Amino acid sequence: MTDSNNAYKNKRERGRVLRRLGPLGLWMGFVAIGLWLSLYKPLWNDEIYSQTWPVQKQSYREMLTGHIREGNNSPLFYIIQKAVCRIGRYRLVMPKEINWYVIDRPGQVLLRLPANLYMSSALTLMVLFFTRWWGWRWGLYALAVMLSSPMVWRYWAEARPYPLWIFLTVAQALLVLSFVSDQEGKARMGLLMGTHGLMAVTSIFSLAQIGIASAVLWLDRRMKGLRLPAGYWVVTVGAMAICLFYYSRAPKYHFWFDPQHPPWRLMFEALPWQYLTIGGLCAGMTFVFNRQEVSATARWYGLFWALTILAAGGLMGLFVLRAEAPPEGFAVVSRYFLFATPVTLIAVVVFSRQAMRAARSSWARFNIGFFLAGLLLSRFFTTYMEIYGQAFYWI
């Protein structure tokens, strides 16, 4: 009997170890992919400028006080890059002839290591969250949706603030999703407040993201007869004030639109039509035809998603109204609307499941699944052709 109990305990212990190693193995797999991508993507103009000027020539004090010579002068990315370069004793030395691209294998790996860790963490979070919440099938579906995004492949290996922005946006959106699904907890609230603090020193555009998340959570709590803790509002107001501080210190550049990339095309680069179709049609099906079966989670996250899309549209409207004639300044690019991409990817997963649950027969579920798979495969193919055609990676 004792041997049997010991065997049972050993089996349970091995199971615990495997469960703990699973997420770590998944994360390390993503890191390995990111390292491989880094080796085959030369450093390019924006990365070179960020490294040779703000990171290598400016002090931590200048960064923290908003004197970074970039349009987005929020300091977190640059501080981390400077620390990594000091630890790795690395300095990018430019050749005499200035090139748009520079091949420097050690630099490509080291400078992009933080970005690789951010993106790998974002992917791991997506898989683990939906696996634990809805099962492994939805975890794999969330991973497929994430990997079908062109923004993931564009910025997975890039020594710029965008991978950090994606990671923090994924974390914020998943925390909001957990709160509107009645998953309370002081630790989770602390994580959300910490995420808002980090977002405030990552991107000026985080101002809208923090405001939208806070508005949705406040409305959700009010409908439930609850209140957000006072500490949350202190951190939120402080984070938004930090965003405004760095915006006031940021250089004010002129912007214009490339004729080959008009506003509507830029929006579809950040928010591909397949995602909008999946989210929009699934939301429409559940709200119109099976309104009584729509979960509170889908309703509240749908509001969060809609407000984020409106914020991206409002930002585009500002660029359109203030656009000037080239060539002075910079062209408006799709990465300015990057914050809407992770929120939309999560909305695709949420509404896909809602649509499957709302289906009243196995035949209806089959057709919905076929429709979702078709759009997702279309997105994978389009993303592959885009990344290959624009030669992001020199393989």
349 and 282 assigned to the same domain: yes
Mean pLDDT of 76-87: 97
Q: Quick one: pLDDT at residue 278?
A: 79
pLDDT beyond 60 at 100? yes
Asked if 368 and 278 sit in the same domain, the reply is yes
- Could you tell me if 42 and 395 are in contact, meaning their C-beta atoms sit under 8 angstroms apart? no
Is there a contact between 110 and 90 (Cβ–Cβ < 8 Å)?
A: yes
User: At which of 111, 134, 152 does a domain end?
Assistant: 111
The pLDDT confidence band at residue 8, using thresholds 50, 70 and 90, is very low
Regarding whether 167 and 89 lie in a shared domain, the answer is no
- Most confident among 31-40, 89-98, 222-231, 321-330 (mean pLDDT): 31-40
Residues 84 and 121 placed together within one structural domain of the fold: no
Residues 196 and 342 in one domain: yes
- What pLDDT is attached to residue 18? 47
Q: Is residue 23 domain-resident?
A: no
Same structural domain, 132 and 258? yes
- Torsion angles phi and psi, residue 77, rounded to 5: -55, -45
Please report which confidence band the pLDDT of residue 11 belongs to, taking 50, 70 and 90 as the band edges: very low
Q: What is the pLDDT of residues 235-244, one digit of tens each?
A: 999 999 999 9
Helix (H) or strand (E) holding 281: helix 273-284
153 close to 38: Cβ distance less than 8 angstroms: no
Kindly state whether residue 81 falls inside one of the protein's structural domains.
Answer: yes
**Residue 315: pLDDT above 80?**
yes
SS3 98: coil
Q: Could you tell me which of 172, 59, 47 has the C-alpha nearest to residue 107?
A: 47
Beta strands in 7-67 (DSSP E): 43-44
Higher pLDDT, 187 or 382: 382
Residues 120 and 103 in one domain: no
Q: Is the pLDDT of residue 14 over 60?
A: no
Domain assignment of residue 129, yes or no: yes
The length of the chain in residues reads 395
- Say whether both 83 and 232 belong to one domain: no
The stretch 99-128 carries a mean pLDDT of: 94
Q: What is the mean pLDDT of residues 51-72?
A: 93
Q: Does any domain span residue 16?
A: no
pLDDT-derived band at 187 (thresholds 50, 70, 90) equals: confident
Residue 8 falls inside a structural domain: no
Give the domain-ending residue among 93, 111, 129: 111
Q: Which domain holds residue 148?
A: 112-389
pLDDT at residue 6, as a whole number? 53
Q: With a cut of 70, say whether residue 289 has pLDDT above it.
A: no
Element (H, E) at 102: strand 101-102
Whether residues 174 and 308 share a domain: the answer is: yes
How does the average pLDDT of the chain come out, rounded?
89
* Mean pLDDT on 62-87: 95
pLDDT above 70: percentage of residues in the chain: 90
Please determine, for residue 203, whether its predicted confidence score (pLDDT) is greater than 90: yes
Final residue of a structural domain among 111, 142, 162: 111
> Does residue 294 have a pLDDT over 70?
no
What is the predicted pLDDT for the residue at 286?
57
17 falls within a domain: no
- Whether residue 243 is found in the same domain as residue 384: yes
Position 13 in a domain: no
The verdict on pTM exceeding 0.75 is yes
| 182 within domain boundaries | yes
| Amino acid, res. 143 | L
pLDDT at 287: 60
Return the pLDDT at 242.
97
Shared domain for 117 and 196, answered yes or no, is yes
CA distance 395 to 381: 18
Total domains, the chain? 2
pLDDT band of residue 248 (cuts 50, 70, 90) is very high
Residues 167 and 84 occupy one common structural domain: no
Please give the Cα distance from 319 to 254 (Å, whole number): 10
